[in-house]
C-alpha cells in the first residue's frame, strides 16, 4: 500500500466526499463550484498519474488496479450524485454511466473467476476523460445555454454515448467469458 500510485488512488477516494460537499454547498460556501471543479480536476489528474507511475516504475499490483478502478467509480458516481442534487446533471445520464460501471465490474469478476484479466481499453480511457470533462463543465456551468441545453449538458450526453460504446466494447470482447461461465 505504500506505493505512490496506491496513495494517489486513496487520495482520489478521500477527495470525493469533499467535492460532493462543495458542489452541494451553494449558498453556504462562496465560490463553491470553483473550489469543487479545482479539487475535481486535481482528483481526475491523479487518475492519470497513478497509472503513469505504476507503468513507469513497473509497480502495478492487483491492489493498485482495484484501488484505481474503485477510486474512479467513486469519483464519477459521487460527483454525478452531487450534481443531480443541485440539478446540474441528468439522472438518466448518471444511470447510463452507473449501469455501464456495474456491467464492466461484473465482467471483470466473471473473467477473474475464469482466470482471465479484463485490461482497460482505449475506449475506457476515452470514456473516463469524456466523463471528467462533462462533470467539470457541469460544475462550472456557463451562464447561457447552447440551444436547448447548456454546454455541460451536451458534454454529459456525449459522455453517455461514449460510455455506452465503451461498455458495449467490453461486453463484445468478453462475451465468451460470460458464455463459458454460463455453461459451468
Please report the DSSP string for 78-96 in residue order. HHHHHHHHTT-S-HHHHHH
Instruction: Give me the domain span that covers residue 81.
Output: 4-183
Q: Binning pLDDT at 50, 70 and 90, where does residue 163 land?
A: very high
Helix residue ranges per DSSP H, 57-150: 62-85, 91-113, 122-140
Q: Which three cell numbers stand for residue 127?
A: 470514456
Q: Quick one: average pLDDT of 147-176?
A: 93
Determine the Cα–Cα distance for residues 49 and 5; give it in Å rounded to an integer: 7
Query: Taking 70 as the threshold, does the pLDDT of residue 181 lie above it?
Result: no
* Nearest Cα residue to 109 out of 147, 77, 144, 69: 69
**What's the structural domain count of the chain?**
1
Determine the Cα–Cα distance for residues 54 and 64; give it in Å rounded to an integer: 8
Q: Binning pLDDT at 50, 70 and 90, where does residue 31 land?
A: very high
DSSP annotation of 98:
H
Q: What is the pLDDT of residue 1?
A: 52
Q: pLDDT of 34-50, one tens digit each?
A: 999 999 999 999 999 98
Residue 111 φ/ψ, nearest 5 degrees: -65, -40
Q: pLDDT of 90-146, one tens digit each?
A: 999 999 999 999 998 888 888 878 777 777 788 988 999 999 999 999 999 988 999
Query: Taking 80 as the threshold, does the pLDDT of residue 2 lie above it?
Result: no
- For residue 149, the cross-strand partners are 146
DSSP annotation of 149:
B
Residue reference for cell 480511457: 125
Q: pLDDT of 56-84, one tens digit each?
A: 998 888 788 888 889 999 999 999 999 99
Q: Which three cell numbers stand for residue 87?
A: 440539478
Q: Which runs of E-coded beta strand occur in the chain?
A: none
What's the CATH number where 31 sits?
1.20.120.1760
Mean pLDDT of all residues in the chain?
A: 91
* Nearest Cα residue to 12 out of 75, 69, 54, 60: 75
Determine the Cα–Cα distance for residues 60 and 143; give it in Å rounded to an integer: 43
What's the pTM?
0.91
Q: How many CA atoms lie within 13 A of 99 on its CB side?
A: 14
* Nearest Cα residue to 97 out of 17, 155, 53: 155
Amino acid at each position: 500500500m505504500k506505493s505512490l500510485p496506491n496513495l494517489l488512488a486513496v487520495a482520489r477516494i478521500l477527495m470525493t466526499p469533499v467535492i460532493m460537499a462543495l458542489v452541494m454547498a451553494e449558498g453556504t460556501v462562496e465560490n463553491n463550484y470553483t473550489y469543487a471543479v479545482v479539487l475535481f480536476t486535481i482528483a481526475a489528474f491523479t487518475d492519470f498519474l497513478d497509472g503513469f507511475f505504476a507503468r513507469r516504475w513497473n509497480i502495478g499490483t492487483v491492489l493498485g488496479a482495484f484501488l484505481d478502478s474503485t477510486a474512479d467509480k467513486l469519483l464519477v458516481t459521487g460527483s454525478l450524485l452531487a450534481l443531480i442534487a443541485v440539478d446540474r446533471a441528468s439522472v438518466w445520464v448518471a444511470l447510463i454511466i452507473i449501469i455501464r460501471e456495474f456491467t464492466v465490474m461484473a465482467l471483470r469478476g466473471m473473467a477473474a473467476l475464469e482466470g482471465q484479466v479484463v485490461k482497460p481499453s482505449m475506449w475506457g480511457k476515452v470514456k473516463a476523460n469524456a466523463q471528467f470533462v462533462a462533470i467539470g463543465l457541469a460544475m462550472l456551468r456557463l451562464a447561457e445555454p447552447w440551444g436547448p441545453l447548456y454546454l455541460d449538458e451536451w458534454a454529459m450526453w456525449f459522455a453517455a454515448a461514449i460510455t455506452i460504446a465503451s461498455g458495449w466494447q467490453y461486453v463484445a470482447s468478453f462475451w465468451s467469458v460470460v458464455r463459458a461461465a454460463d455453461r459451468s
